[in-house]
Amino acid sequence: MPKAYWISTYRAVSNPDKLAAYAQLAGPAITAGGGRFLARGLPAKVYEAGLEQRTVLIEFDSVAQAVATHDSAAYGAALDALGDGAEREIRIVEGV
C-alpha cells in the first residue's frame, strides 16, 4: 500500500495566537493518527512560480489513515482553535 503525504501551505497568518493554539492540539492529534512530520517551515529556496509560504509535510502509511486523522474529533478540535487565524491549503497525496 502506498504511503500518503499531507501537505499544508499557509497563504497568510492573521492571528498567531490562534495558530499557536491550533499547533498545540494538531501535533498530538496528527501523531496519534500515525502521522510523521517530515518538514515544516519556510522554503529554503523557491523556483518558478513558487511562493515563500510556510509549508508542512506529514507522512502517513496510507491515504485512508491521513483522511481519518483529518476527519477525527481530535483534529477537529485543533481546527476549531485555529478558526479564522490562518488562510491555508491542505492536500493529501498518495505516494508512488
Summarised one tens digit per residue, pLDDT across range 41-87 is: 999 999 999 999 999 999 999 999 999 999 999 999 999 999 999 99
Looking at every residue in the chain, the average pLDDT score rounds to 97
Per-domain boundaries in the chain? 4-44+51-94
- Look up the CATH number of domain 4-44+51-94: 3.30.70.100
pLDDT, residue 68, reads 98
3-state secondary structure the chain: CCCEEEEEEEEEECCHHHHHHHHHHHHHHHHHCCCEEEEEECCCCCCCCCCCCEEEEEEECCHHHHHHHHCCHHHHHHHHHHCCCEEEEEEEEECC
